[in-house]
Amino acid sequence: MLPFTNHIRRLRFEAGEMTQQDLADRIGVTRQTVAAIEQGKYSPSLEAAFRIAQVFRVPLESVFQWQGDRASTGR
């Protein structure tokens, strides 16, 4: 299971129905890669993450949210 969630789908639509293909072109990866990241199939590279945040002009942390290992710390 992945250590973070993301809001790419929401950001794409808030950005005027930007397609996965458009986003892929803008960040320099393939459509399949965007789809996989968006669905949480695997983690993006740090570079792809930065580029996505840049496209939407938001901080990286508002695209990807890390869910630390709170399992043992309780809260």
Partner DNA sequence: CCTGCATGTCAAATATCTTTTACATTCCTT
Partner DNA sequence: AAGGAATGTAAAAGATATTTGACATGCAGG
The binding site for its own copies (CB under 8 A) comprises 3-4, 43-47, 49-51, 54, 59-61, 64, 66, 68
Work out whether strand 4-6 and strand 64-66 pair parallel, antiparallel, or are unpaired. Answer: antiparallel
Q: Which of DNA, its own copies, none does residue 3 bind (CB under 5 to 8 Å by kind)?
A: its own copies
**Sole binder of DNA in the list 8, 11, 33, 55 (CB under 7 A):** 33
**Which tokens belong to 55?**
């496209």
Extract the tokens encoding 62: 């508002």
Of 16 and 74, CB closest to DNA: 16
